[in-house]
Structures are given as C-alpha cells and as structure tokens.
Amino acid sequence: MKSIFICISLIMFTTLPVMAENELTIGKFSSADLSGWKEQTYFSSKKTAYSFVQDNGKTVLMGRSNNSASGMIYKIKLDPQKYPIIKWSWKIEHTLKNANDRTKEGNDFAARLYVVFPRGFFSSTRAIEYVWGNTMHSGESARSPYSKNFVMIAVDSGDGLAGRWVFHKRNIAEDYRNSFGEEVPKIGAIAIMTDSDNTHESSIGYYGDITLMQAPKEEEQKSKEPSQKEQPGFNGSSATTPAVP
C-alpha cells in the first residue's frame, strides 16, 4: 500500500502556499538542500536510505533500497494552471529483474516521482507517478495496482539508459487531463521514491534538481483549450534527453 500511505500523510498535514515566481526549484539537491522535504516511512517495510553523493563533481540525492520502501515528500499548495511544467533529472543503476509494474507483487521502481492532488476525502485523492519502467515501455501509462486514482506514466524504461543521467520535462496539467479526463486540481505535494520491498531485491536511484515552471504563452493558451476525455495509454508530452543533473 505504498502509494496510499503517501496520500494519507498529505491529508494529515497542512500544505504550504508559495509566492509567485517564474520557476520554483523545490528539489535543491545540487546544493545538498533538503529544506521542506520529509521522509515518509511505511509500517511494513524497512526504510530506503537517502543521502547526498557526488556524481561527476555534482551533488545529487541518492536513494538506496535493499528490500525496503520509503519516500521523500515535499508538501506544497500550488495551482498547476500557473505552474504546469515539471522538470527533473534522474539516473538508475539497473531496473528490478523480478518486477511487474502492473501488479502489487512487482510494483517496485529504482526511481519514481509523484505529483499528488488531494481532493478532500482520501478516496478522491489522485496522483500521477512518473516512473522508470521495468516492464512498462517508455510512453506507456497504466493505473496503479494500488489505486485506480493513481496513474503511472513510464518516461523511461529498461536498462538501455541505465547508468546515464536523463532529463525530463512534463506538462502536469496536460498529463492529468489525459489521464483522468477532467481539469487538473491543486497540487498538494511532490514526492520521490526508490523501493524494492515487493520484489525483495535492491535498487539505486539518483535524483537531480526538481523544478516547477510557468508555461510559455503559447502553451498556456493551449492548456485553456477544451480537451477530449482520454484513458491511460496516451502519448503525453515529454522531453527526454541524457543529461548532467
């Protein structure tokens, strides 16, 4: 029940508003700064160890999991219509051999990033999980085996890029509309997690800075246009390139 525990923690605590800026860097990992981030543990699992390490002369956050699962959460109150773009970089050492992304028994990832949307009652809370897929192919999406209100989007897949930094830039509002067929609600948190408790393996994920951005004018106008309801399986917008964190 890993994804669900993250939502429970969000509902229990008040989120913090932010001041208007063009970019909000909430994951200042290159500065070895975890301000605003809190560890989220699970009663049934050992903790994943998160620590700052040097990679090619740059500071990054590493998650090291050994049959464990815990995440890092940054609670925030943010309008995704104003800040629809999220960008980040990450790297893994390898995927999990016994994983099956679509089942509870195999739902482990070396790297994943959540965008969570609290909506009153827990049963209404929704989330997008950007994942480095084990069995899902890049570009695929599927409902989480833990909750139909969680949609997994594989922005990377397999071991082809393992050991290399990959940069991503996603339109959260667009991904949400395509996933749930409705306008995007307020963002309540961003979270990351490296885990391997279901497969009883080990995994290591590295995370570069995480930034939320305002959309360029042409994208902002496009986001206001009505969209048709779509089901998971869409081809969402993404920029994916090997990069330095």
* Closest alpha carbon to 69 in 31, 110, 17: 110
13-44: burial string, b at 16+ Cβ within 10 Å, e else:
eebeeeeeeeebbbbbbbeeebeebeebebee
Q: Which residue has the tokens 């089942």?
A: 103
CA distance 193 to 130: 11
Report the DSSP pairing between strands 202-213 and 126-133: unpaired
pLDDT value at position 215? 85
Written as tens digits, the pLDDT of the chain (245 aa) is 565 555 555 555 445 455 557 999 999 999 999 999 999 987 667 999 999 999 999 999 999 999 999 999 999 999 999 999 999 999 999 999 999 999 999 999 999 999 999 987 777 899 999 999 999 999 999 999 999 999 999 999 999 999 999 999 999 999 999 999 999 999 999 999 999 999 999 999 999 999 999 987 755 555 555 443 333 333 344 555 555 55
Of 224, 211, 225, 185, which is closest to residue 79 (Cα–Cα)? 185
Q: What was the pLDDT predicted at 45?
A: 72
**172 membership: H or E segment, kind and range:** helix 172-180
What integer pLDDT is reported at residue 18 of this predicted model?
Answer: 53
Looking at residue 124, its pLDDT comes to 85
Residue 70 near residue 41, CB atoms below 8 Å: yes
Report d(CA 163, CA 158) in Å as an integer: 11
CA–CA–CA angle 20, 187, 149 (5° rounding) = 165
The residues facing 114 across adjacent strands are 129, 191
- Three-state DSSP state, 162: coil
pLDDT on residue 234: 33
* Cβ atoms of residues 202 and 194 within 8 Å: no
pLDDT value of residue 14: 47
Max intra-chain CA distance, the chain: 47
Q: Where are the domains of the chain?
A: 2-242
Query: What is the model's pLDDT at position 46?
Result: 92
The helix, strand and coil proportions of the chain, stated in percent and rounded to the nearest 5, come to: 15, 40, 45
Q: Are 176 and 154 a contacting pair, CB within 8 Å?
A: no
Dihedral-angle region of residue 93 (phi above 0 means left; psi in -120 to 50 means alpha; beta otherwise): alpha
CATH number for 2-242 (one of 2.60.120.260, 2.40.70.10, 3.60.150.10, 3.40.50.2000): it is 2.60.120.260
The predicted model scores a pTM of 0.86
Pairing of strands 69-78, 202-213: unpaired
Q: What pLDDT is recorded for position 159?
A: 98
